[in-house]
Structure 1
Amino acid sequence: MPRYALKIEYEGGPFAGWQAQADQPSVQGAVETALARLDPGFAEGARIAAAGRTDAGVHATGQVAHADMQRAWDPFRLGEALNWHLKPAPVAILAVAPVDDDFHARFSALGRAYTFRLLARRAPATLDRGRVWQVLNPLDADAMREGARHLIGRHDFTTFRSSICQAKSPVKTLDRIDITAHAVPGGTEYRFHLAARSFLHNQVRSIVGTLERVGAGAWPPARVAEALAARSRAACGPVCPPDGLYLTGVSYDPMPFPPAPDDADASDAADAAAPRAACRDE
C-alpha cells in the first residue's frame, strides 16, 4: 500500500481538535472523509496519523500526516482531489509526497515548531478574530525575552504541563523561544516562536500565558525561573486561550516535501532538531 505524507493547513475554530471524535467535528475526520471519497480503504475505516494532535481551536500552517492508499497516486493529483472534497471545511492540503513504509508522521518527527500570536490593542480584533489572543495594553517585549531565557534547555516542565497530560515524563528540551513585536493598526502584535522535539499538553499556552504576565508588569522576569523550579501547576501563570496558537512546522530526516522559498517555519523545526544529538527527549 503506497504511503503518502500530507502537509496540512487548517483553521482550528470550527473543530474540536485534530483527533477524530464520534460526536464532534475534527480535522482528522474531515481529511479522512475526503480520503474516503477517493480510496476504498478509508471508506472502510482506515485512519491517518499526524505529527501533532492539536487541541480545539488551535490552528496549523504546517501539520503533517501520513495516509496509506490502496493504489498509487500522482502526488499533485491527490492533493488537488483532496482539496476539492474538503470544501467547504477550512482545511487545505498544501503538499503531498510519497514516503517509505517506515515513515510515520508522529514517530519519525525530529522537531516541531509553534507560533503564538498575541494582539495588544484597545480596539477589538476584526479580521483576526479567533486567530489571535487579544489583550488591551502593550507589553514589555524585552522583559518577556528575559523571562523566556529561563525556560530554554532541558527541564522538568511540570509547572507548564496540563493536569491531564498523558506524556510519560514532564522532562522536555525547549530549544528556542523567540519573541518578536510587530506594529499593527491601533496596537502591537507579539509573536512567540517556540521549537522543540516535542511538547507537553498545553505547554506552549502555559508558557505564553506566563510570559504575558511578565510583559504586563505583573511578574518580574525572575519569577519565571521560580515557577519552573517549583514543579507545580499552581505556580504557573494563566493558560492563554487556543485562538493564537499555530503548529507551523515539523522536521524529518529526510524532509518529505521540497522546501518552499519562504518556509521559515520548517527551518525552525529543523533547527530545533539539531541540538538534540546529545540530548534527546525520551
Structure 2
Amino acid sequence: MPRYALLIEYDGSPFAGWQAQADQPSVQGAIESALARLDAGFANGARIAAAGRTDSGVHGTGQVAHADLQREWDPFRLSEALNWHLKPAPVAVLAAVRVDDDFHARFSATERRYVFRLIARRAPVTHERGRVWQVLNPLDITAMRDGAAHLIGLHDFTTFRSTMCQSASPVKTLDQIRIDEHEIPQGREYRFHMRARSFLHNQVRSIVGTLERVGAGSWAPERVAEALAAKDRAACGPVCPPQGLYLSGVGYPQDPFGIGRG
C-alpha cells in the first residue's frame, strides 16, 4: 500500500480538535471523510496518523499526517482531489508526497514548531477574531524575553503542563523561544515561536500565559525561573486561550516536502 505524507493547513475554530471523535467535528475526521471518497480503505475505516494532536480551537499552518492508500496516486492530483472533497471545511492540503513505508508522521518527527499570536490594543480585533489572543495594553518585550530565557533547555516542566497531560514524563527540552513584536493599526502584535522535539499538553499556552504576566508587569522575569523550579501546576501563570495558537511546522531528518524548516 503506497504511503503519502500530507502537509495540512486548517482553521481550528469549528473543530473539537485534531483527533477524530464520534460525536464532534474534528480535523482528522474531515480529512478521513475526504479520503473515503477516494480510497476504499478509508471508506472501510482506515485512519491517518498526524505529527501532533492540536486541541479545540487551535490552528495549523504546517501539520503533517500520513495515509496508506490502496492504489498509487499522482501526488498533485491527490492533493487537488482532497481539497475538492474537503469543501467547505476550513482545511486545506498544501502538498502531498509519496514517502517510504518507514516514514511515520508522528514517530519520524524530530521537532515540532508552534507560533502563538497575541495582539495588544484597545479596539476589538475584527479580521483576526478567533485567530489571536487579545489583551488591552502593550507588553514589555524585553522583560518577556528575559523571562523566557529561563525556560530554554532541558527541564522538568510540571508547572507548565496540564493536569490531564498523558505524557510519561514532564521532562522536556525546549530548544527555542523567540518573541517578535510588530506594529499594527493602533496596537502591537507579539509572536511567540517555540521549537522542541515534543511538547506537553498545554505547555505552550501555559508558557505564553505566564510570559504575558511578565510583559504586563505583574511578574518579574525571575519569577518564571521560580515557577519552573517549583514543579507545581499552581505556580503557573494563567493558561492563555487556544485561538492564538498555531502548529506551524514539523521537522524530519529529511523533509518530505523539500521546503526546509521555515
What interval of TM-score do these two structures reach, taking the shorter chain for normalisation? over 0.9
1:156 aligned partner: 156
Structure 2 distance, partners of 1:88, 1:211, is: 37
1:258, CA displacement in angstroms?
Answer: 1.8
**Does the residue aligned with 1:151 lie in a helix, a strand or coil?**
coil
2:137 aligned partner: 137
1:202, CA displacement in angstroms?
Answer: 0.2
1:254, CA displacement in angstroms?
Answer: 1.0
- For the pair 1:190 / 2:177, whether they are aligned, the reply is no
Give the unaligned 5+ runs of structure 1.
268-282
1:86 aligned partner: 86
Structure 2 distance, partners of 1:107, 1:211, is: 30
2:12 aligned partner: 12
Structure 1 distance, partners of 2:235, 2:91, is: 37
Counterpart of 2:140 in structure 1: which amino acid?
A: D
- For the pair 1:251 / 2:251, whether they are aligned, the reply is yes
1:16, CA displacement in angstroms?
Answer: 0.1
1:223 aligned partner: 223
1:70 aligned partner: 70
Structure 2 distance, partners of 1:93, 1:258, is: 16
1:38 aligned partner: 38
1:180, CA displacement in angstroms?
Answer: 0.5
Counterpart of 2:96 in structure 1: which amino acid?
A: V
**Does the residue aligned with 1:4 lie in a helix, a strand or coil?**
strand
Counterpart of 2:24 in structure 1: which amino acid?
A: Q
Structure 1 distance, partners of 2:113, 2:4, is: 22
1:118 aligned partner: 118
Query: Taking structure 2 as the reference length, what is the TM-score of the superposition?
Result: 0.99
CA-to-aligned-CA distance 1:219-245 (integer Å, 9 cap, x gap):
000000000000000000000000100
1:171, CA displacement in angstroms?
Answer: 0.2
**Does the residue aligned with 1:41 lie in a helix, a strand or coil?**
helix
**Does the residue aligned with 2:223 lie in a helix, a strand or coil?**
helix
Structure 2 distance, partners of 1:22, 1:128, is: 30
Structure 2 distance, partners of 1:102, 1:175, is: 26
Structure 2 distance, partners of 1:230, 1:158, is: 8
2:168 aligned partner: 168
Structure 2 distance, partners of 1:178, 1:135, is: 20
Counterpart of 2:38 in structure 1: which amino acid?
A: L
Structure 1 distance, partners of 2:254, 2:144, is: 35
2:100 aligned partner: 100
Between the two proteins, the alignment pairs up a number of residues equal to 262
Superposition RMSD on alpha carbons, in Å?
A: 0.6
Stretches (4+) displaced over 6 A: none
CA-to-aligned-CA distance 1:126-176 (integer Å, 9 cap, x gap):
000000000000000000000000000000000000000000000000000
Counterpart of 2:225 in structure 1: which amino acid?
A: A
1:272 aligned partner: none
1:186, CA displacement in angstroms?
Answer: 1.1
1:147 aligned partner: 147
Query: Taking structure 1 as the reference length, what is the TM-score of the superposition?
Result: 0.92
